[in-house]
Chains A and B, each alone.
Chain A
């Protein structure tokens, strides 16, 4: 039986036995998002910011409306604060390249970051002589607030940037970033929230979070791949130099001087993935409706926590299962089976049409900190139900038995 949400997804309609538990990698796409892409090319295709004909004008309008939809979704003050990039990774690289960080400046982050919120900073550490420091983790994998406060006391005003994952893609823990941002603001530290994982699991309100920048990818929130978002406070984006240069992002080009375009277009060089940006907005509008229909984000979280807990309870009964980290898990569980390699587990689960990810999940330093050679990860999306969890457990039991 395919549940009513799955019925909105062509991939589940066509593959009713598919047990997709890899939404932290990428989510499946509802029909309304796929239709939006088709509709763009069939009815509205023209380049943006260029044409004077009606079709181009309507493409322009759709592009700006997509920015407005995102702004509303994350409660930004204006579409000018919403830059469309390729994905979270590009948004973070943009910041690493454009923020005025110099030798001696300290960037604070954690050991649980996805490589996308680690490697751009390590790169400028090497190039510009800034220093990347890591907030410790507790045994559960939760961020150690005391370690953060010790660093604040020790390094004080040398800290220029705090960049934190809102939700660990391995542990499923929602990090209390507001608490850290509050302290950072008091000492004038810029703050970035990597919402790549949290965007599909909780409501995001940039004003409530109080962050300066926030990034996420469309494909992790039921939208198409190839488009992502950088939110930045307008006053900061105004002062930030563009990362990529070329078409669309300039007003006036002379060989001797250049005038950048207005926000947010200043940061959107070249022809963007127009259909993807428009379809991302369709995805957010769709999700907003779906969340409302289950009773809001709080209720959605409760349902997700109940399903996660059910999976954890069932897993605890399988001999040899080791769960990675502790804390409250929001739809993401990483695990190992004693004496079994994660890649073998994922391969065998695939025999039962169960899709999970195996390996480091782009968070190798976290696995090293926890002393693990990788893990298998189950991650839930809005479409998953108890039936999926049961099939997953049956398949896991099969693996555990095989290797016992």
Chain B
């Protein structure tokens, strides 16, 4: 658990990257964790299937917001189809979380927001 709250994660939580509402996004994905009320909204602009702009908004814990912030830059220039390929393992590894952590759902809310893009 201690590894989980790395300086990097907390920095992302305090100053999340690309944290803003997007006007006229092509795709929007909303994910809510009904257990704790955390929510993420992911906005994507694409050009012929390639992500050209991305941003997010939301409220929640450090893991929820920090995880999205840690990944969001990497979405740029990616093919939308590749975005959907981001795996649970990649996410958990990146934030040093065990797969049986009680906080797993906080981390995978990022994945859910991607899956819900439409």
Contacts and interface: CB of A to CB of B under 8 A. Distances in A.
**A and B: real partners?**
yes
Interface of A: 339-341, 343-344, 347-348, 350-351, 359, 373-374, 402-403
A373 B62 contact: no
A373 B59 contact: yes
Contacts of A341: 60-62
B106 interface: yes
9 contacts: A340-B62, A341-B60, A343-B61, A348-B1, A348-B2, A348-B5, A373-B37, A373-B59, A374-B37
Given A343-B61, A343-B103, A347-B1, 17 more contacts: A339-B14, A341-B60, A341-B61, A341-B62, A343-B36, A343-B106, A344-B5, A347-B5, A347-B102, A347-B103, A348-B2, A350-B1, A351-B1, A351-B2, A373-B37, A374-B36, A402-B10
A350 B14 CA distance: 22
A404 to B, nearest CB: 10
A32 B14 CA distance: 49
A351 B14 CA distance: 22
B80 interface: no
Nearest to B63: A344
Interface of B: 1-2, 4-5, 10, 14, 36-37, 59-63, 102-103, 106
A246 B61 CA distance: 47
Query: Chain A interface secondary structure, helix, strand, loop or mixed?
Result: helix
Contact of B5 (A359, A373, A402): A402
A288 to B, nearest CB: 37
Contacts of B4: 347
Q: Which of A343, A350, A373, A374 has the most CB of B within 10 A?
A: A343
Contact of B61 (A344, A350, A351, A402): A344
Nearest to A359: B36
A344 B37 CA distance: 14
A23 B36 CA distance: 21
B2 to A, nearest CB: 6
A373 B61 CA distance: 11
Contacts of A343: 36, 61, 103, 106
B81 to A, nearest CB: 33
Contacts of B103: 343, 347
A313 B103 CA distance: 31
Contacts of A351: 1-2
Contacts of A348: 1-2, 5
Contacts of B59: 373
A223 to B, nearest CB: 27
A403 B10 CA distance: 7
Contacts of B10: 402-403
Nearest to B106: A343
Nearest to B6: A402
A79 B2 CA distance: 52
Contacts of B61: 341, 343-344
A117 B102 CA distance: 29
Contacts of A340: 62
A374 B14 CA distance: 19
Contacts of A350: 1
Interchain residue pairs A-B with the least CB separation, the first 3: A341-B61, A343-B61, A344-B62
Contacts of A347: 1, 4-5, 102-103
Contacts of A359: 36
A378 to B, nearest CB: 19
B102 to A, nearest CB: 8
A224 to B, nearest CB: 25
A213 B98 CA distance: 48
A395 to B, nearest CB: 12
A339 B66 CA distance: 13
A340 B10 CA distance: 10
A345 B3 CA distance: 15
Contacts of B2: 348, 351
Contacts of B1: 347-348, 350-351
Nearest to B4: A347
B32 to A, nearest CB: 14
Contacts of B106: 343
A402 B37 CA distance: 23
B40 to A, nearest CB: 14
Contacts of A373: 37, 59
A341 B5 CA distance: 13
A345 B35 CA distance: 17
